[in-house]
Each structure stands twice: as C-alpha cells, then as structure tokens.
A and B are shown apart, each in its own frame.
Chain A
C-alpha cells in the first residue's frame, strides 16, 4: 500500500519535473521558499493535483503558507483532509 508520503513525493516529482530528485524528498525537505521550482504557479498546480489524486476539495482556508513550507506539512494537510471525508 502506497503511503501518503510516497504519493505526494510522486506528485511533486511530476508537477515540478524533479526527475530523480523526487526520490530524495523527505518530510523535512523545504518546498515554498526553498526549491526554485515551487513558485506560485506551481503551488496552484500542486493543489489541483492533490485534489485530483486524493479526491479532495481544498478551499482558500486550507491553503496556508505553512502547509507548503515542507513536504511533511503537505502530507499532513492531505491526511487531515482525507480524514474529514
């Protein structure tokens, strides 16, 4: 069974075109403000992919800056929203 972390890692790798670097992402890896590929346009695409891949609906209030600071924060957002549905 694929974990949320693995699926988020694949998602980020796909959206940000990270190639093999996707495998190096850990929960501590910084995203917003840390990797150049994660610009504001990428955030919108990442959110759309999270919605599509995990079957979630994310609204403005879910999309805090904190949620995008690290890979782990994003995983926690996904798990929290999945628990809601």
Chain B
C-alpha cells in the first residue's frame, strides 16, 4: 500500500474560498477528523506539529482535514473579514465537506482553535472534541496578543490604550497580523466554561506543562498532562512526539479489510 500524500484543496466558504489540506486514507473507515488552527503567529509556529498529528491520525485510518480559517493562512479574505462568526461558518462548511463519506466525525483545535472546536462539536453533535492547550479566557488571550504590540512598540502603547482603540472601532496590527473590532469583541466574551457547557460529546483535553489549570480538572473528565514546551509560541520548530502519539491513540487503528 503506497503512502498517501496530503492534498491541498479549496472549499466554498460563506464569504469566499477556504484553503484546506486533506489527509485521505487508503481504506476508508468512516471516521474523520477536522483540525482547527490557532490564531496569528501561533498558527505559523504550530504547522509542523499539526501536520505530524494529521499524518499520525490518518495512518490509523481516519481521514483528516486541516482548515485555514477565512482571512488567515491561504484562505480567501483579509484580516478585516476574519471574525469568530465567520470562523464558525467556515468550520460548519468543513464539517459538511467531511461528512460526505464519513459518519464518525471528531474535531481537534489548538489554543483559540480549541474554543472553536468545542462550539463546532456542539453545533453538529460530533463524536468527540479534542483540545490542545485551549485558551481558557478569550479576554486573557486578547490581552496577551495586544501585549505583543505594546512591548514591541516604540510609542509607549499600553494594553489598556490598545484595547480602547479596538472598542472605538479601530483594527490593530499586531506582529504581522491584525485584529479587527468584531474579532476582539468575540474574544472578550469567550470562556472555556461556556464552550464546554454547550458541548455534549466527550472532550479530551491535552495540557502541556507541569500542571493543568484548575478549570481543566473541574470541567473535563479526560484530561492528560504531558511534559513539553509551548510549541505554538516558540519561534524554533519544536516537536513533541508524546503529544502526537497520545492524541492519535484516541482512534483505534483499523486494519485494511481483506479484498
């Protein structure tokens, strides 16, 4: 059996085309996984880990689709058009695409992608939601993102001042990316508690570090803590094989059926 190569493709999103990479399997098992990326530079820095994960899961007979959200990556649209609502619709389109030929769908998200994954799982009643280091409070994430600009700015900008400008309707550039007011508003309201509450399927939470946040233990039955650095925030490509292995293990490998 030859090795299957990942295939780039375009999916029709509600606002324009969505770029995705499909990891097909030689012997379909009816199972599929949608991977939702993190935001901004984190997406860039986690590409390799997510690609390796996709391969590992596909090797178990699970078709994988890795999506670039609208206004990010190679999908259509610019930063002005990126919004949480748009991303929810993008994920919906990706689920629809995957459900052709697959009856058992799961979703995995990294960081902000994890919050999106929970909402997607809830909306479609998916089999399983897998979270890699979920952002637990969108407001904190927004602060941390604005801080990137505040600390690298020569103009003495503070996080508070930048936040006020967003609220006043200004789109802000941060480290080569941009946050528009609609996206900022959505981030301010997002919490892991609310996202988990809406999700009825099993949730698997993977945390990298020595101690998971207290909220993880309270909210999630399937919590796994692994040692390793925050690869999505490190410039040098950082790989954590244990995380890939532990995640892929969620799907029992299928053996190809005899012809």
Contacts and interface: CB of A to CB of B under 8 A. Distances in A.
Interface of A: 2, 7, 10, 13-15, 17, 40-41, 43-45, 47-49, 51-53, 55, 57, 59-60, 63
A14 B152 CA distance: 20
Nearest to A59: B159
Given A14-B230, A17-B234, A49-B233, A57 B151 contact: no
Contact of B140 (A44, A45, A57): A57
A15 B150 contact: no
Contacts of B168: none
B158 A44 contact: no
B210 A44 contact: no
A44 B147 contact: yes
B233 A45 contact: yes
A41 B175 contact: yes
Interface residues on B, range: 20 to 34
Interface in B67-83: none
A50 to B, nearest CB: 10
B210 A47 contact: no
B144 A7 contact: no
